[in-house]
């Protein structure tokens, strides 16, 4: 055993000195950053150390054992903008230059040689400068011992100088809070968000998930080449589009026959009818991912039909909350009801309410059975912010909650992106019944709406009345 172990490269032992990096994030979905990076570190088995505990700034100062890890992370992250090998950082410009002058020349050497073309980029976060001002800032670095030629289009080496003026737009301070200089190493996947934009996608529905969040979900599910991925409330398939980008082979099911066949009313305002060939498959074709499209099936999630021993690597889904999409399952309240034989060929099954608590109960139970051990369930869960504690979340003894991030929807509501990892196979009992007490989001949602609507009407009536009185006064 010991012999074998010594053959395995252990990254933390191999490199004695860790290198400092600046990870610059998009200032969007801040709460999701940690969840994404943690998932990716776990997927690639990467180690990372914080040099400084991150607060709400768009950057982290961290250390990695080598550049390999940084590049792996960037190759999959959608929240990352840029990764920079940090040569100097300081609370003001003067100190930055002092620090940069102390940076060991031996470490610069590979990047400043005569055969390496270079450029220096100047970024000022949250404050605008003219081109002339930027050039002045750039010229302050003329002491750098770079020997290569300048190449603005395709340089071998890109240096980045960043001045950070905080995150409050419109009133930046006179001087930056912090300044950085370093060598650009890798960029994240911000381009992919644009490429998968819903604006240019063939087939979308009313509640299609935006590409950034879809990609985040695929990352949190640790989708990788050859992963088997299921979305049991697939709709127009946006989550599957993201999963295929990272190598997932995808299935989807949905109770809505018309949706899967692309026959619902179009979701784009200027589109009168849907194209004949709108479908989840058409989306895969659009992004050249048809080879990873397995199937979509019309199915009621309450009556699953998968072979009991079939295991998925990931279940990624956004179940209906009963607000913008109906929560329905097949069923009837009539007792002893039977469909007459002559009606069978054209019969459309009746549906009854499929309450949120049952949906999530079924979803967790399904995942406990059909995920492989170590596989992940990533799903959204709607909450009332005032009622939220971890106790209101769905849970299952075989699923461990590994991350939980909030996206605010309104003053009172939000939805949480939950990531569960299956820790072991369930016992028969755990698949049958287990107590879950989940509040019905839908019920409360409409009660609150009812109130606010009444309040709004009263307010409007009062304004009208005041206007009327004012007019009367004017006339008299």
Q: Report the interface residues with another protein, using CB under 8 A.
A: 225-226, 249, 251, 253, 255, 257, 260-261, 279, 281, 290-291, 294-300, 302-308, 310-311, 330-332, 337-339, 344, 347, 349-350
Which of 290/466 has CB closer to another protein?
Answer: 290
User: In angstroms, what is the minimal distance from the CB of 347 to another protein?
Assistant: 6
**Rounded CA separation 401/378 (Å):** 10
CB 427 within 8 A of CB 312: no
Cα separation of the two ends of the chain: 100
Which of 330/448 has CB closer to another protein?
Answer: 330
CB 167 within 8 A of CB 89: no
Strand partners, 418: 379, 404
User: In angstroms, what is the minimal distance from the CB of 247 to another protein?
Assistant: 9
User: In angstroms, what is the minimal distance from the CB of 349 to another protein?
Assistant: 5
**Rounded CA separation 95/84 (Å):** 19
Which of 212/279 has CB closer to another protein?
Answer: 279
**Rounded CA separation 141/150 (Å):** 14
Which of 61/259 has CB closer to another protein?
Answer: 259
Handedness of CA 458, 464, 467, 473 (dihedral sign): negative
Which of 24/354 has CB closer to another protein?
Answer: 354
User: In angstroms, what is the minimal distance from the CB of 85 to another protein?
Assistant: 34
Which of 139/335 has CB closer to another protein?
Answer: 335
For residue 441, which of 338, 360, 350 has the smallest C-alpha distance? 360
Task: Show the CA angle centred on residue 100, arms to residues 95 and 101, nearest 5°.
Answer: 100
Which of 98/290 has CB closer to another protein?
Answer: 290
CB 147 within 8 A of CB 115: no
User: In angstroms, what is the minimal distance from the CB of 336 to another protein?
Assistant: 9
Buried b (16+ CB within 10 A) or exposed e, 255-280: bbeebbebebebeeeeeeebeeebbb
**Rounded CA separation 90/103 (Å):** 13
For residue 364, which of 214, 232, 174 has the smallest C-alpha distance? 232
Which of 115/225 has CB closer to another protein?
Answer: 225
Which of 199/334 has CB closer to another protein?
Answer: 334
CB 264 within 8 A of CB 256: yes
Which of 253/317 has CB closer to another protein?
Answer: 253
User: In angstroms, what is the minimal distance from the CB of 428 to another protein?
Assistant: 15
User: In angstroms, what is the minimal distance from the CB of 345 to another protein?
Assistant: 10
- Residue linked to tokens 């909450």: 383
Which of 166/304 has CB closer to another protein?
Answer: 304
Beta-sheet strand order (sheet of 157-164): 49-50, 59-64, 19-25, 80-90, 178-187, 157-164, 118-125
User: In angstroms, what is the minimal distance from the CB of 69 to another protein?
Assistant: 24
User: In angstroms, what is the minimal distance from the CB of 331 to another protein?
Assistant: 5
**Rounded CA separation 145/188 (Å):** 29
User: In angstroms, what is the minimal distance from the CB of 431 to another protein?
Assistant: 14
User: In angstroms, what is the minimal distance from the CB of 237 to another protein?
Assistant: 12
Q: Which long-range contacts (CB under 8 A, 24 or more apart) does 401-409 make?
A: 402/38, 402/39, 402/376, 403/34, 403/35, 403/38, 403/39, 403/220, 404/35, 405/29, 405/31, 405/32, 405/34, 405/35, 406/31, 407/29, 407/31, 407/32, 407/213, 409/382
């Amino acid at each position: 055993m010991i012999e074998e172990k010594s053959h395995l490269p252990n990254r933390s032992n191999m490199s004695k000195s860790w290198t400092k990096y600046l990870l610059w994030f998009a200032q969007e979905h801040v709460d999701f950053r940690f969840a994404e990076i943690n998932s990716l570190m776990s997927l690639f088995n990467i180690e990372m150390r914080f040099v400084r505990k991150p607060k709400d700034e768009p950057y982290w100062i961290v250390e990695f054992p080598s550049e390999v890890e940084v590049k792996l992370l960037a190759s999959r992250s959608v929240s990352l903008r840029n990764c920079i090998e940090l040569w100097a950082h300081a609370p003001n410009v003067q100190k930055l230059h002092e620090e940069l002058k102390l940076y060991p020349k031996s470490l610069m050497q590979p990047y400043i040689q005569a055969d390496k073309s270079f450029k220096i980029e100047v970024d000022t976060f949250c404050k605008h400068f003219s081109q002339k001002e930027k050039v002045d800032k750039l010229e302050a670095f003329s002491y750098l011992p770079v020997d290569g030629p300048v190449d603005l289009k395709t340089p071998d080496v890109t240096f980045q100088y960043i001045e950070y003026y905080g995150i409050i737009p419109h009133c930046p301070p006179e001087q930056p809070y912090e300044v950085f200089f370093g060598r650009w190493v890798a960029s994240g996947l911000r381009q992919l968000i644009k490429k998968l934009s819903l604006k240019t996608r063939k087939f979308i529905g009313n509640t299609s998930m935006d590409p950034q969040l879809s990609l985040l979900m695929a990352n949190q599910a640790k989708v990788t080449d050859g992963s088997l991925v299921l979305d049991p409330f697939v709709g127009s398939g946006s989550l599957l589009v993201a999963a295929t980008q990272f190598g997932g082979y995808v299935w989807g099911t949905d109770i809505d026959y018309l949706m899967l066949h692309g026959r619902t009313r179009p979701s784009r305002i200027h589109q009168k009818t849907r194209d004949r060939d709108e479908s989840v498959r058409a989306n895969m074709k659009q992004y050249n991912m048809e080879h990873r499209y397995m199937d979509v099936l019309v199915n009621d999630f309450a009556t699953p039909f998968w072979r009991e021993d079939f295991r998925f690597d990931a279940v990624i889904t956004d179940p209906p909350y009963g607000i913008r999409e109906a929560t329905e399952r097949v069923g009837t309240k009539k007792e002893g009801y039977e469909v007459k034989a002559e009606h069978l060929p054209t019969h459309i099954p009746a549906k009854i309410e499929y309450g949120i608590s049952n949906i999530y109960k079924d979803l967790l139970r399904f995942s406990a059975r059909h995920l492989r051990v170590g596989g992940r369930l990533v799903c959204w869960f709607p909450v009332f912010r005032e009622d939220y504690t971890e106790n209101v979340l769905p849970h299952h003894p075989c699923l461990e909650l590994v991350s939980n991030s909030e996206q605010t929807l309104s003053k009172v509501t939000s939805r949480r992106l939950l990531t569960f990892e299956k820790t072991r196979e369930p016992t028969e009992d755990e698949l049958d019944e287990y107590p879950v007490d989940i509040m019905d989001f839908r019920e409360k949602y409409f009660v609150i709406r009812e109130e606010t609507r009444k309040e709004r009407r009263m307010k409007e009536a009062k304004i009208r009345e005041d206007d009327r009185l004012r007019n009367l006064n004017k006339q008299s």
